[in-house]
């Protein structure tokens, strides 16, 4: 996780938003799977 955070700090705000959006979609998929 530390390495990921270091790389994340290097991203631009625009790229960071894209990454955050993907993480949100991924989290929603996991939540739906857990609910099932």
pLDDT in tens, the chain (36 residues): 566 666 666 668 888 899 899 999 988 887 877 765
Report the C-alpha gap between 11 and 15 in whole angstroms.
6
Indicate the pTM of the whole model.
0.47
pLDDT, position 13 = 83
Strands (E), the chain: none
Residue linked to tokens 């998929």: 29
pLDDT at 3: 62
Rg of the Cα atoms in the chain: 12
What pLDDT is recorded for position 8? 61
Instruction: Check: CB of residue 8 under 8 Å from CB of residue 16.
Output: yes
How far apart, in whole angstroms, are the C-alpha atoms of residue 4 and residue 27?
A: 17
Q: Read off the tokens for 7.
A: 């790389």
């Amino acid at each position: 996780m530390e390495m990921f955070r270091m790389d994340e700090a290097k991203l631009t705000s625009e790229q960071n938003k894209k990454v955050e959006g993907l993480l949100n979609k991924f989290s929603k998929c996991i939540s739906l799977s857990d609910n099932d």
